[in-house]
Amino acid sequence: MSLENKEGQNVPEVHFIIRESGEFKTLTSTDLFKGKKVVLFALPGAYTPTCSSTHLPRYNELASAFKKEGVDHIICLSVNDPFVMESWGKDQEAENIMMLSDGNGQFSEKMGMLVDKSDIGFGKRSWRYSMLVENGVITKMFIEPDKPGDPFEVSDADTMLNHLNPRAKPPKAISIFTRPGCPYCIKAKDDLKAHGLQFNEIVLGKDTSNSALFSITAQSKVPQVFIDGELIGGSDKLEKYLAK
């Protein structure tokens, strides 16, 4: 398998059909890349383990850090149909990522990244890689090594962010346990948003149980906020933390 590094070249010009807000939309490579600074990462398939657990979520988490480095868009590309990419993006709550369907594999083929995974029933798929595109020109590529299986060593979000700025600070990892209708939970979320902080909301009765909350926090009241693994506590303690 020959995986070509295309740094210094223009991105291939193709037409993409995507789904946004339940509607079909056609975009060209020019629409996506001209006059913009774009990070694109490509992966073998929606809903697959590494793609769902690590690759896509981490780019979504670091979106604000990429924005500080002048990145206009972060694109996730896969050889899946538009319905699958739209649904996967919703399931992953990847609101900071453009989910781009390369349904026929045209872009991946022209990039030299279309590989045959028929032996595992996948058919033609994209090899895993990431790239930085500036005004339509590929200025950096991180291509996973040609190894058996599905290597994931260099196309991750942290590697790309480090390329853009070795001193860039990733945003804090924040999780908040909430309960529907809880006014203190609403206040805590509003305070986090007011400080430009993204968070993962864990809703009791939907995402987890009261007993799980108690086993993790030794608390039964909500909200309970964790920041970088540290239990901050409820809305009042969060307010004091943010005031610092």
Active-site positions read 51
Contacts of 116 (CB under 8 A, 6+ apart): 123, 124
Burial class (CB in 10 A: 0-12, 13-18, 19+), 168: middle
Q: Is residue 33 within 8 Å of 143, Cβ to Cβ?
A: no
Element of type H or E holding 114: strand 114-116
H-type alpha helices, the chain = 29-33, 49-50, 56-61, 63-68, 82-91, 106-110, 157-164, 183-194, 210-217, 235-243
Cis ω for the linkage preceding 151 (within 30 of 0): no
Taking CA atoms, 232 is separated from 121, 185, 200, 215, in Å, by 46, 14, 15, 16
